[in-house]
Amino acid sequence: MSSLVLRNGFIVGASSSEVGDVLIVDGTIAATGDVGSVPSHTVEIDAGGCWVGPGFVDLHTHLREPGREEAETIESGARAGAMGGFTALVAMPNTEPALDSVALVAYVLERGARTPLDIAVAGAITVGRAGEKLAPIAEMAALGVRLFTDDGIGVQDPSLMRRALTYAAPLGVRLAQHCEDESLAAGGTMNEGPVSSRLGLSGRPAIAEELMVMRDIELVRLTGGSLHLLHLSTARSVTLAIEARREGLDVTFEIAPHHFTLDESACEGFDPIFKVHPPLRSASDALALREALRAGLVDAVATDHAPHAPELKDLPFDEAPAGMLGLEHVASLTYEALGGGADVASQLFDVLSRGPARVAQLRKSDTRQSLSAHGGALVTGEDANVVVFDPHARWRVVADSLQSRARNTPYEGRELLGQVRCTVAKGRLIVNEGLLV
Amino acid sequence: MIDSIRGQSLLTLEGLSARALVEILDTAESFVEVQSRSVKKVPALKGHVVASLFFEESTRTRLSFETAAKRLSADVLSLAVASSSVKKGESLRDTISTIDALGIDAVVMRHSSSGAALQVSRYVPHVRVINAGDGQHQHPTQGLLDAFTVRQILGERHGTSGQESGSELFKGLHVLIVGDVRHSRVARSDIQAYTALGAQVQIAAPGTLLPPDMTGWPVTLAEDFSEALEWADVVALLRLQRERGSGSFVPSLAEFTSSFGLTIERARRLRPETIIMHPGPMNRGVEIDSRVADLPAAVIARQVSNGVPVRMAALYLSVAGLKRDGAL
């Protein structure tokens, strides 16, 4: 029997919050509030001044395994996730080869099971993510896959996307779209606008994203399917998604931290660290995203954690791969963007835990094989996936100190407010005092 | 604003003041005379090593730079590199580090990717980098030699030397830039040079060949090409960058020519003193009629020959400015 007690934290429940203890015994929350006496040999953690809430869930992690293990592995990605307060990650399927079959999904699930976290898998919508032929969605769903995406590229063919939505709907799974019309994005490397025009870099225009958001919302209306919009980056995209949700369509969306903390001006120095798809947008887009976040209109903040080997980010801007790290600083960035302070606690856990757990079907009410439940209310009987977040701590991002194998953080040297103190995954204390146990 | 490039890399003309530009033009003027000597050499960069690193092939610009470096008595390391570092399997950082290890003072660099010269300057901050054209971003020495050529011609007409005139001859000068601005690094450098020196710049191009968002550009768009041609003291034509796919931005080359080409009919209506320029290599019959290219008003050959003293000036100011004893 193992037991752990988190003392005197501000427990952020689903609807109410209070100062108290959380007792965890054998992977389950055994008691909360004033837990009184605890079993002998219980590990005591002082969570005074900190927030105690459900472990974070990332809907959008590129773990790179199989195929690009020099950039990240499932194991190193899980460590980075743990440092960031995550207890569950959804592994994106744009590996080499792509996760488009039962065998490959089973491989990642099996490797993921060796980590302390829950590693869920998003399967590919099309074979090889080539956008031509449906992948075996039902077979992968039978293994527990609940999200399907060709992320890295959107499904370009509207007829195929319609078919995928129709096929997936009765399976109880959700499609997730990387919204960019590639014929409009046409080899672009940064946001199309005044900066790209001056720098002579070809642009990926906002309309490339927004047009696909519009198209797919209409396809959901037509098919009755379920759709998650990945890393929406423009004010218009977010407005469209919110309107669709209000109309009752089953549309969810996420925003990524780099899109609400950085903008296209970061590309001025031609540093490929700032190259990402969809690209960093205008300052007013970033502001609109922060406003949506603060207004509680965002289903999830997701990292789009995209590790790349250092030598690939030393290529010219147009040749370098797109993507940046996210797992280890997203909680601080989201906390800062929410405005900081005690009254944003429930919002932080909504967008980093409860919202994404709902989208990924990782909650207690969702029946899953093998994976534990996430995004809970911190009540007795729940699986113990818990994070302790210190809203007062300040820390500095140092790429060389990150747990990810890669170093491509766009926040090098930046001081951030709010830090993950402890991560408890499936009842195990894996991060304590901001360090891996 | 930067008031002098002495001791600094020359990556872009953006941010250079009129003073910095005039210093380069004046220095270039003092080097023109070297070209007519029997011994075409000055010892200004003796003992310095200049590497010429052309990731994108360009015989003309490369020859011009290497001639300039040699006339300054620099040792020139000429390196052939594959057109794409990706294909070669080597990062930009590794390529420049290898060359740096040979011991160099400056690198003249051409690359098909925008920003590559700036990236390299970050990797080897102790080496002066002269951008010889990066993607669709900047081609600073072309902008400088275009301005130099205009000042030289206007100076001859006014009977003054360029050095006496400073930037005076550019005040109110009308420069019309025509064609594929979208894909043109020459246009981006020309616009910076001309406007910083005090000229007015108009752009004439089909909408598809304009940069997507020109907010903040110190130029106006010509509403009527014929009127703009009459307005212009200088008509600067751009190469239609067919190798960058510009052909698909217009219905046909013939339609581009009929709309925005400097045909013989249009050239006849120019004022007699209007200067016609082209950075080369020309698509004769596309942006410029072959007969127009051979008119006396077309100063294309003079642009090429001015390339050498202007590049000597850029190299000299950039590299010799490094000398610790301050002797220049």
**Test mutation, A198, A264, A408, chain B, max B CBs within 10 A:** A198
> Where is A229: in which H helix or E strand?
strand A227-229
* Residue B279: count of CB within 10 angstroms of its CB: 26
List CB contacts (< 8 A) between B91 and chain A. 311-312, 314-315
Contact A316 B85 (CB under 8 A): yes
Distance CA A157, CA B89 (A): 33
Cα–chain center distance at B261: 21
* Per-residue confidence (pLDDT) for residue B84, from 0 to 100: 47
Q: Which residue type is seen at A181? A: D
Q: Looking at this predicted complex, what is its ipTM?
A: 0.94
In which region does residue B120 sit, left (phi positive, over 0), alpha (psi from -120 to 50) or beta (all else)? Answer: alpha
The residues on A that touch B, with CB distances below 8 Å, are 192-194, 196-203, 205, 269-271, 311-312, 314-319
Show me where the domains of chain A are located. 3-52+379-436, 55-359
* Per-residue confidence (pLDDT) for residue B57, from 0 to 100: 82
Digit-coded pLDDT (tens) for A364-404: 999 766 899 999 999 999 999 999 999 999 999 999 999 99
Contact A198 B211 (CB under 8 A): yes
* Per-residue confidence (pLDDT) for residue B328, from 0 to 100: 42
**Test mutation, B88, B112, B213, B244, chain A, max A CBs within 10 A:** B213
A270 closest CB neighbour out of B118, B185, B188: B118
Establish whether the linkage from the previous residue to A278 is cis, with ω within 30° of 0. yes
* Per-residue confidence (pLDDT) for residue B91, from 0 to 100: 79
Contact A317 B185 (CB under 8 A): no
Domains present along chain B, CATH in parentheses: 18-138+307-320 (3.40.50.1370), 140-304 (3.40.50.1370)
Closest CA of chain A from B108, distance in Å: 17
Quote the tokens at residue A217: 């919302």
Count interface pairs A-B at CB distance under 8 A.
Answer: 83
Average pLDDT taken over every residue of chain A: 97
Closest CA of chain A from B93, distance in Å: 6
For residue A312, the chain B residue with the least C-alpha distance is B91
Closest CA of chain B from A282, distance in Å: 12
* Whole-Å CA distances, A241 to A230, A234, A250, B109, B300: 11, 11, 10, 46, 55
List CB contacts (< 8 A) between B84 and chain A. 319
Mean pLDDT throughout A15-32?
94
List CB contacts (< 8 A) between A199 and chain B. 114-115, 137
Distance CA B118, CA A414 (A): 23
Closest CA of chain B from A66, distance in Å: 22
Q: Which residues of A are catalytic?
A: 304
Rounded to the nearest 10°, the torsion over CA A355, A361, A364, A366 is 140
A193 closest CB neighbour out of B92, B185, B213: B213
* Per-residue confidence (pLDDT) for residue B16, from 0 to 100: 98
Contact A200 B216 (CB under 8 A): no
CATH code matching the domain that covers A55-359, chosen among 3.40.50.150, 3.20.20.140, 3.30.565.10, 3.40.30.10: 3.20.20.140
Q: Would you give per-residue pLDDT tens digits along chain B (328 residues)?
A: 999 999 999 999 999 999 999 999 999 999 998 888 899 899 999 999 999 999 888 888 999 999 999 999 999 998 877 554 545 667 788 889 989 999 999 999 999 999 999 999 999 999 999 999 999 999 999 999 999 999 999 999 999 988 899 999 999 999 999 999 999 999 999 999 999 999 999 999 999 999 999 999 999 999 999 999 999 999 999 999 877 667 789 999 999 999 999 999 999 999 999 999 999 999 999 999 999 999 999 999 999 999 999 999 999 999 987 544 444 4
Beta-carbon contacts of B38 under 8 Å, excluding residues fewer than 6 positions away, are none
Establish whether the linkage from the previous residue to B206 is cis, with ω within 30° of 0. no
Class of domain A3-52+379-436: mainly beta
The residues on B that touch A, with CB distances below 8 Å, are 14, 84-86, 91-94, 111, 113-116, 118-119, 122-123, 134-138, 185, 188, 211-217
Mean pLDDT throughout A58-68?
98
* Per-residue confidence (pLDDT) for residue A368, from 0 to 100: 66
Mean pLDDT throughout A192-196?
98
Contact A270 B119 (CB under 8 A): yes
* Per-residue confidence (pLDDT) for residue A16, from 0 to 100: 85
Q: By the 8 A CB rule, do B241 and B282 touch? A: no
pTM of this structure = 0.95
In chain A, how many H helices and how many E strands? 13, 19
Place of tokens 């399917």: A225
For residue B184, the chain A residue with the least C-alpha distance is A200
Digit-coded pLDDT (tens) for A293-343: 999 999 999 999 999 999 999 999 999 999 999 999 999 999 999 999 999
List CB contacts (< 8 A) between A271 and chain B. 119
Contact B92 A314 (CB under 8 A): yes
For residue B93, the chain A residue with the least C-alpha distance is A314
